[in-house]
Structure 1
C-alpha cells in the first residue's frame, strides 16, 4: 500500500511550496521524481530549484541529462523513474502512475483556485482509494500552513 498525499494549494503557489517539501524529502534520505505536464514546466521547475533561496539550492536534474539515474531529485514529464525514486510528486495534473503500488509515497499538488484541477484531484482521490492506498488530504490555511483535513 502506498501513502498518497493530496496538497490543496490555496494561498501560495506551487513554486513557493514545492521546494520546501522536496527539501524535507531529501533530508529523509528519499530519492524523488517530480512529474510535470510539459517540457516547459520541467524547465521552469529546474530553474526554480537552483534559485528558490539565496542560502541554498536543491541538487537535482532532468530526465534529459546523461546522469539522470544519479539525481536525488529528478524532474520529468515521463512516467518512469530513472533515479529509482521511492517518492513521486505529481504537479500540473500529472496522472497517477500505473505502478502506484511500487512507491512508498505519492504527493499530488493541485491548485485549489482552479476548478478543473480540483475536479481532477477528486477523481484521483477516488482512484487511489479504490486501489487500496492510504490517502491523506492537506489544505493550506490563511497563513499558508498545512492542515490535515482527511
Structure 2
C-alpha cells in the first residue's frame, strides 16, 4: 500500500526541508522523483541541491538528461517515473500523479502559510484517503523537529 506523508511547512522553505528528506531516502536505498510545477522551479532546485551544504552531496539530475534512468534522484515537472523511483516528492502544489499507487511513498510538501496550498493539500488528503492510501500528517514543533499529528 502506498504511504502518503503530508509535510506542513510553516516559516520554512522547500529549500530547507527537501535536502534532509532526500538524504534519508537515499540512506534507505530508495530512488526518488521530485516533481515541481515549472522548468524554472526544477532548475532552481537543481542548482540548490548542488550547493545547499558544503559537506554534502546529493546525486541527482533533471528529467532532461539521457541517463535519467540511472540517477538516484530525478527532478521532474510531469508525471512519469524516469528512474524507477520508490518515492515521489511533490513540491510547489504539484498534483498527485495518476500512478501514485505505484510508489511505496508519496511526500507532499505544502506551504501552510498559503491558503491555496492549504486547499490543494486538503483536497489531496481527501483523494488519498478515498484511494485507500496510508496517510499521515507531519508538522514541525517549536524546535523544528517533525512531529506526526493526528
TM bin (shorter chain): over 0.9
TM-score, normalising length from structure 1?
Answer: 0.98
- Counterpart of 2:148? 148
RMSD: 0.7
SS of the equivalent of 2:128 reads: helix
Displacement, 1:145? Answer: 1.2
Displacement, 1:143? Answer: 2.2
* In 2, Cα distance between equivalents of 1:19 and 1:98: 25
* In 2, Cα distance between equivalents of 1:56 and 1:16: 14
Aligned length: 150
For structure 2, the residue ranges without an aligned partner over 5 or more in a row are none
TM-score, normalising length from structure 2?
Answer: 0.98
- Counterpart of 1:17? 17
For structure 1, the residue ranges without an aligned partner over 5 or more in a row are none
- Counterpart of 1:75? 75
- Counterpart of 2:7? 7
- Counterpart of 1:63? 63
Displacement, 1:100? Answer: 1.2
* In 1, Cα distance between equivalents of 2:77 and 2:43: 11
Displacement, 1:142? Answer: 2.1
* In 2, Cα distance between equivalents of 1:129 and 1:110: 18
